[in-house]
């Protein structure tokens, strides 16, 4: 558990590789998500890559921020908070992917014009 809480320093080579591969996943999935059609297998694949890559990448990066900017006495509680947010991020993205339109369609929806509400009778 200590290695997960100190993902930037205690994880060694494995966490650095995880951070690197998460970055590759984000770099590859982003154009895939942008150019894929709604509901396609490519879009779903990008959504599931995002569901793992975003929390892993942000968890390791935020632990580096904790190491660089917080005093040693505050690092333990801050790292627990970072882990909690990483888990909540993963669960939230997975919920969007499994029970909703998916992360890609949710983000693309920010740029679409709202549909007019159906007239009620």
In a domain, 68, yes or no: yes
pLDDT at 117: 80
User: Annotated binding residues for heme b, as ranges?
Assistant: 57
User: Annotated binding residues for a ubiquinone, as ranges?
Assistant: 69
User: By 3-state DSSP, what share of the chain in percent is helix, strand and coil, each rounded to 5?
Assistant: 75, 0, 25
Q: What is the pLDDT of residues 66-91, one digit of tens each?
A: 999 999 999 999 999 999 999 999 99
Average pLDDT, the chain: 91
Q: What is the pLDDT of residues 94-120, one digit of tens each?
A: 999 999 999 999 999 999 888 888 765
Q: How many domains does the chain have?
A: 1
In a domain, 121, yes or no: no
User: Annotated binding residues, as ranges?
Assistant: 57, 69
Task: Grade residue 36 by pLDDT with cuts at 50, 70 and 90.
Answer: very high
In a domain, 115, yes or no: no
In a domain, 112, yes or no: no
Domain carrying residue 6: 1-106
């Amino acid at each position: 558990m200590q290695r997960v809480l100190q993902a930037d320093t205690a994880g060694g080579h494995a966490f650095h590789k995880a951070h690197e591969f998460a970055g590759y996943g984000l770099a590859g999935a982003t154009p895939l998500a942008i150019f894929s059609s709604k509901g396609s297998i490519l879009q779903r694949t990008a959504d599931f890559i995002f569901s793992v890559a975003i929390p892993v990448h942000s968890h390791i990066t935020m632990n580096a921020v904790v190491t660089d900017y917080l005093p040693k006495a505050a690092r333990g509680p801050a790292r627990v908070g970072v882990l909690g947010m990483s888990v909540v991020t993963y669960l939230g993205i997975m919920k969007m992917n499994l029970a909703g339109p998916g992360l890609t369609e949710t983000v693309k929806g920010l740029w679409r014009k709202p549909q007019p509400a159906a007239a009620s009778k």
